[in-house]
Amino acid sequence: MAEDLNEWLTKGRKALDLARKGVNQWLDAPEGRVPKGLFVVGCQRSGTTMLIDTLMKAPQLWSHPEKSNIAYDNYRLRTPSVVDLVIRSTPADTVVFKPLCDSHLADKILDAHTDSRAIWMVRNWPDVASSAVKKWGSHQAEVIRTITDGRADEVGWRGERIPAQLIAQLREVVTPEMSDIAGAALFWYVRNSFYFMLGLDQDPRVKLVRYEDLVTRPGEVFPALFAHIGASYDPAWIEDIQDRSTPTARPDGVSDDIAALCDALQARLKMTN
Query: pLDDT (tens digit, 0 to 9) for every residue of the chain, 273 residues total?
Result: 555 555 554 445 444 344 443 434 434 545 556 799 999 999 999 999 999 999 999 999 999 989 899 999 999 999 999 999 999 998 899 999 999 999 999 999 999 998 999 999 999 999 999 999 999 999 999 999 999 999 999 999 999 999 999 999 999 999 999 999 999 999 999 999 999 999 999 999 999 999 999 999 999 999 999 999 999 999 999 998 877 766 677 889 999 999 999 999 999 999 876
Domain locations along the chain: 129-194+253-270
**pTM above 0.85?**
yes
Residue 93's pLDDT is what?
92
Return all residues near 158 (Cβ < 8 A) that are at least 6 apart. Answer: 143, 147, 187
- With beta carbons less than 8 A apart as the criterion, state whether 144 and 183 touch: yes
Residue 22's pLDDT is what?
44
Distance CA 17, CA 91 (A): 16
- With beta carbons less than 8 A apart as the criterion, state whether 74 and 106 touch: no
